């Protein structure tokens, strides 16, 4: 009789301090957080002093904007602290309460300042120019004024803006409900492996333990267990998503956009043609995907290739254990091309507890980077020793350094960066890691694994995210046509798109219809396409750095430091990439084909 071993996640109290992030760099204590919370709360009425007066003089306008910035910066730190404290153990009601309070206060601050946009728009451009000429401090807001004027036709009356702002928590509640359901309330089953071992399924181990297993039965059992868990809650997840879609459609109508996608892209001045070009380029290049999948099927020696087979390493034994310490060293070596300052800052962050490393009970799933003006970046991981997690570390480190440079080099109004460029810096780091490994590694098996990893990066980050983008676009089109979003309609839509992308090469099991429920980014409408455009831009940037050297590196570092000081499309053009063209996406597919050729060549050399 086999012995059954149950592997469970540690409690938060059992995680070593040096593997947790240090929130004292935001606030020294919860008491300090409460004081900052009260400072914002008590100042909400102060901004109203300027109501109706912004157009009187440049001095008054500057005072109002500076006060708004000051409160926004403090509020950002208040929210960041509460969010991070709650995410490491979502089962603690006190911490969830801090996050809820911070979210509500953020909404109240938004309401208290909601009158500013409509009032700013009533100041005629020529008068605004005179204000800027007489008040030196106003010049910093010029780009903000330009963006605001561009969106002027979508800004509603002061009364409507106040209503929309006060309703923001309710309108955004679907994403919060989804996260709580995913991280706290969903009970994932224990999965019995073929050898009798019983493993508790989690969002963290689903990929590394199950989908990347060399054992087809382990992959199947893990996949079916995860899809089954979502299927059992399909009505709740559908209600969450339908509510999120309805909120976006409502706001788009109120603001006079053509639709929710127009609203999402217009706000950052990205033409909808960029989205459509991406999907069209995917359509054109699907044959190279099917060529790769045919090779995958041949190498794996299976009669049928299922969707849960697509993550299994093709080179046995090459996905070696890589510890957290080894991974940090790898990342720092790979990004050395970006210069001493970049490496010094990132290495210092690793040593200063910017990262919450290991998975524990109640911890938010996945990985992310989060920071606010005046704070260092913070990275959340759910670490399992593997090369894949090393790349995840490199990815989030790219986000962190983008945040570090933009927030330290730009004033508050431009210290962030748009979603459109958010995935560029992260995937640049991944590309640099792959190039570094292929340059330094001689082990044929490991080389094959890295090449395959690059193929998979393009498949999952460009092709798969484009698949998500197509699903999202079609789901919103249904809602905007007043068609109901139901578990059956969304499941059929998702399975149909998966079949279009993969059906010529894979068996599409019915359970794939549940996968859309796992995608938390759907609650940030029209976000996912930017993974695909981001990797395409990153490939172009890295190729430029490897080809042109320091000038290209300098352009890239300037991009990281630019924040929102220009439109994102223009920032990328300055760095050498034109995303209004389909060329960067096509170039990424050309790179995919080159990696596939190299993979076949190195495979043949081992035969």
The residues carrying an active-site annotation are 396
- DSSP letter for each residue of 575-607: HT--TTSSHHHHHHHHHHHHHHHHHHHHHHHH-
CA distance 111 to 127: 27
Strand order in 190-192's β-sheet?
6-7, 198-200, 190-192
- Look at the chain and count its residues: 607
CB-based contact 51:64 (threshold 8 Å):
no
CA distance 251 to 398: 33
Joined tokens for residue 94: 């006190």
Query: For 470, how many CA atoms within 13 A lie in the half-sphere containing its CB?
Result: 22
* Residue 198 β-bridge partners: 6, 192
CA distance 72 to 80: 12
CB-based contact 332:326 (threshold 8 Å):
no
Q: Which of 3, 584, 552, 523 is nearest to 264 (CA)?
A: 523
Count of helices and strands (H, E) across the chain: 26, 6
| Crossing angle (nearest 10°) for helices 30-43 and 58-87 | 150
Under DSSP, the state recorded for 306 is B
What's the distance, Cα to Cα, between the start and end of the chain in Å? 40
Instruction: Characterize the bridge pairing of strands 378-380 and 355-356.
Output: parallel
CB-based contact 103:80 (threshold 8 Å):
no
CA distance 110 to 161: 10
| Crossing angle (nearest 10°) for helices 93-113 and 58-87 | 160
CB-based contact 315:216 (threshold 8 Å):
no
Cα angle 220, 223, 227 (rounded to 5 degrees) comes to: 135
Cα angle 359, 362, 367 (rounded to 5 degrees) comes to: 45
CA distance 75 to 564: 20
């Amino acid at each position: 009789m086999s012995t059954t071993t149950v592997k469970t996640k540690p409690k938060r109290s059992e995680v070593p301090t040096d593997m947790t992030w240090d929130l004292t760099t935001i606030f020294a204590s919860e008491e300090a957080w409460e004081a900052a919370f009260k400072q914002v709360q008590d100042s909400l009425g102060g901004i109203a002093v300027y109501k109706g007066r912004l157009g009187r003089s440049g001095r008054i306008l500057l005072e109002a904007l500076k006060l708004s910035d000051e409160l926004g910066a403090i509020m950002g730190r208040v929210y960041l602290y509460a969010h991070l404290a709650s995410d490491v153990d979502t089962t603690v009601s006190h911490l969830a309460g801090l996050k809820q309070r911070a979210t509500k206060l953020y909404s109240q601050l938004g309401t208290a300042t909601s009158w500013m946009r409509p009032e700013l728009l009533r100041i005629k451009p020529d008068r605004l120019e005179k204000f800027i000429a007489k008040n030196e401090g106003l010049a910093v807001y010029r780009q903000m004024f330009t963006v605001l004027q561009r969106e002027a036709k979508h800004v509603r009356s002061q009364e409507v803006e106040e209503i929309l702002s006060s309703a923001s928590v309710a309108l955004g509640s679907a994403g919060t409900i989804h996260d709580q359901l995913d991280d706290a309330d969903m009970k994932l089953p224990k999965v019995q492996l073929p050898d009798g071992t019983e493993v508790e399924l989690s969002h963290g181990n689903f990929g590394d333990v199950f989908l990347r297993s060399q054992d087809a039965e382990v992959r199947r059992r893990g996949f079916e267990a995860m899809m089954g868990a979502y299927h059992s809650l399909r009505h709740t997840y559908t209600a969450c998503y339908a509510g999120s879609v309805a909120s976006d459609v409502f706001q788009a109508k109120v603001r006079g956009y053509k639709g929710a996608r127009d609203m999402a892209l217009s706000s950052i001045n990205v033409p909808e043609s960029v989205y459509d070009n991406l999907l069209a380029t995917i359509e054109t290049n699907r044959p190279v995907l099917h060529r790769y999948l045919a090779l995958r099927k041949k190498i794996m020696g299976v009669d049928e290739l299922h969707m849960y087979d697509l993550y299994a390493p093709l080179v046995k034994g090459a996905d070696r254990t890589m510890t957290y310490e080894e991974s940090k060293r790898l990342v720092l070596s790979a990004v050395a091309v970006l210069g001493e300052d970049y490496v010094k800052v990132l290495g210092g962050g690793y040593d200063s507890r910017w990262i919450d490393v290991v998975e524990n009970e109640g911890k938010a799933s996945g990985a992310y980077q989060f920071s606010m003006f005046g704070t260092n970046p913070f990275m959340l991981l759910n670490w399992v020793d593997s090369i894949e997690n090393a790349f995840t570390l490199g990815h989030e480190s790219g986000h962190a350094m983008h945040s570090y440079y933009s927030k330290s080099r730009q004033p508050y109004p431009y210290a962030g960066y748009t979603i459109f460029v958010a995935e560029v810096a992260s995937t640049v780091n991944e590309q640099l890691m792959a190039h570094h490994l292929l340059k330094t590694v001689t082990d044929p098996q490991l080389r094959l694994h890295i090449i395959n990893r690059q193929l998979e990066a393009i498949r999952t980050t460009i092709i798969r995210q484009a698949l998500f983008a197509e699903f999202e676009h079609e789901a919103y089109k249904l809602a905007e046509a007043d068609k109901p979003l139901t578990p059956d309609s969304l499941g059929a839509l998702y399975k149909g798109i998966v079949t279009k992308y993969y059906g010529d090469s894979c068996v599409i099991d019915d359970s794939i219809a549940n996968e859309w429920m796992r995608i938390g980014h759907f609650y940030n409408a029209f976000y996912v396409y930017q993974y695909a455009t981001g990797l395409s831009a990153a490939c172009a940037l890295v190729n430029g750095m490897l080809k042109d050297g320091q000038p290209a590196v300098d352009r890239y570092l300037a991009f990281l430091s630019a924040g929102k000081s220009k439109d994102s499309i223009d920032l990328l053009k300055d760095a050498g990439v034109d995303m209004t063209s389909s060329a960067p996406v096509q170039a990424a597919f050309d790179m995919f084909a080159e990696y596939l050729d190299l993979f076949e060549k190195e495979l043949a050399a081992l035969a």
